[in-house]
Structure 1
Amino acid sequence: MVIHGFQKLTLLDYPGKVACTLFSGGCNFRCPFCQNGNLVQHPEWEPVIPEEEIFAVLEKRCGVLDGVCVTGGEPTLDPDLERFVTKIKELGYLVKLDTNGYRPEILKKLVEEKKIDYVAMDIKNAPSRYGETAGVKKIDVMRINESVEFLKSGVVDYEFRTTLCKQLHGREEIEAIGKWLSGAKRYFLQNYRKSDYVIDPRFSGYAREQLERFCEILRGKIETVEIRGVD
């Protein structure tokens, strides 16, 4: 698997676990507010971390780290993902996968074969605005929904999450997402933050007060609703 970034310690990326994070490159979406635009648009410009180097660190940290987060980009695009996470599991680590959910067949296979232990799936927006928000004109939202329903069935521990921008997400969209994800276990609202690698810098985030109002709309429909990315 081609890895372009390696964060050797994180207390945030895997809820309740001490972990490290690996960043793959390339994505089938072009979300304009994406903060990893360098990995999404031009992964070939980014350095590649040798697999031997990654596993040398993982072997050394057995018993210190609980898990490994595999993110991107979009990891399910890499044909070597299954072999790679199998090798991580063989060291005794928990594996968390971050995905946009557009390849439900890959997600299902990895979960059913017990190759991953936790899934964080991005919900870009309400279905009616999905293509616009994902930066893809022709998008099959039913593929996204297939992943949503699979995770909601409870076959693996999971969370849904949405990065909120004033320009793309308002009360109407939040209400539609709440209806869509009704019955889900865990949903996080992540506030948009500017970064050096964002694809389109014209976006802006919300104040905590507005995010709290959005949470109130969602609570009662979803078991746990929380805010991330706001001090």
Structure 2
Amino acid sequence: MKFKIIFSLILIATTNLYAQVVPDSLKHTPQVPVKENFADDWAALSKYKKENEELGLPKKGEKRVVFLGSSIFEFWKQKDPGFFAGRPYIDRGISGQISPQLLIRFRQDVIDLKPKAVIILAGSNDIAGNTGHVTNKSILDCIASMAELAKKHHIKVILCKYVPVYEYAWNKNIKDASEKIISLNKAIVAYAEKEHFTVVDYFTPLVDERNGQKAELTVDGVHPNLAGYKLMEVVTEVAIKQAFKNRY
């Protein structure tokens, strides 16, 4: 009996000593939040996911138009937010994206938003990437798939003649960029005419004598400045009105 009492006292003393020696940081280890891994989100669906949920469906009579593209569209809203404010225009541009990424995003960032029309600007980043696997056909295949999805969901299709580019400052290994853009634009226009889609011409208002962008309308030879976007806004409004008249 005496042995049991002595053992109990030793155990209590040891426990108290341990409690005094062990730092609080070890006794109460904080839970570190696990950072979500977006390695599988190649098309950056996460970028607009929350914004899309907050946006909701169009109001009755709203003629919503989604602008789907890369940096040209993403920077547009930054340069001239007033063009989008008060209009049913939804900017869904993501800098650096190529046409297959736009295709992956098409359901979430276009179809699910229930727009009346979509403006698809694609191809320049495919060319600028210099992967060696890009052709007009591969770009047009993605554009055609997006257009067919839009048509199936009763969304008017507006395709774009891409803005002129003489040279990509970040990848000067791309030779004859201007000729590649012109060739792509011809292919897009031919496809649009065949399918009776509307075309918005972003090339002609911005082009200079070298088939690049006019210096006074661009920040880097690829992306328009505010003055450039103002010209794009004029032809965009015309194209949207024309698209809503089309009866395909």
User: Between Structure 1 and Structure 2, whose CA radius of gyration is higher?
Assistant: 2
**If the length of structure 1 is used for normalisation, what is the TM-score?**
0.42
| Richer in helix (by share) | 2
